[in-house]
Amino acid sequence: MTAEAALADQWRSLLSRYSRIAHDLDRELQSGHGLTVSEYEALDQLLCRPPCKVRVQDLVESMHLSQSALSRTVARLEKCGLVERAMCDTDRRGVFVTPTEEGRRVHGEARPTYLQVLARHLS
């Protein structure tokens, strides 16, 4: 009984922290840089990976998005000129995603906003 209440409390606390941060991130990245959280985090993943040339499949594994959602996220980023999609030579089913210069710039601008929100919420 108490164990159940403890579980529920733990979840409620996690949910609460998550919701507040996600909401703020979304609001500030959107209004300041025109990015959704998923878009920012996809850019972030791309730029943190040395080759900067990542298959969509690899991004799926490192993000908490379904394959379809990520496919569309990449499509939006491409439409905004922040990434480019390129055929993968060795496996023509695959798609390499690479950030553009503009993508690097926008990510660089958005990064302080992102970190500020995190700092505000996380000790």
Partner DNA sequence: GGACGATACATGCAGATGCATCTAACGTCC
Partner DNA sequence: GGACGTTAGATGCATCTGCATGTATCGTCC
* Binding residues vs DNA (CB under 7 A): 23, 27, 36-38, 55-57, 60, 64-69, 71-76, 85, 88, 91-95
18 near a second copy, judged by CB under 8 A: yes
Whose CA is closest to 74, among 90, 92, 50, 94? 94
What six digits make up the tokens of 81? 């000129």
Residue of the chain from 21, 52, 80, 95 that contacts a second copy (CB under 8 A): 21
Exposed/middle/buried for residue 94 (C-beta within 10 Å: 0-12, 13-18, 19+): middle
Smallest separation (angstroms) from DNA to the CB of 60: 7
Number of residues that bind a second copy (CB under 8 A): 19
Exposed/middle/buried for residue 52 (C-beta within 10 Å: 0-12, 13-18, 19+): middle
DSSP state of 34: S
Smallest separation (angstroms) from a second copy to the CB of 10: 5
31 near a second copy, judged by CB under 8 A: no
Give the footprint of a second copy on this chain (CB under 8 A): 4, 7-8, 10-11, 14-22, 64, 115, 118-119, 122
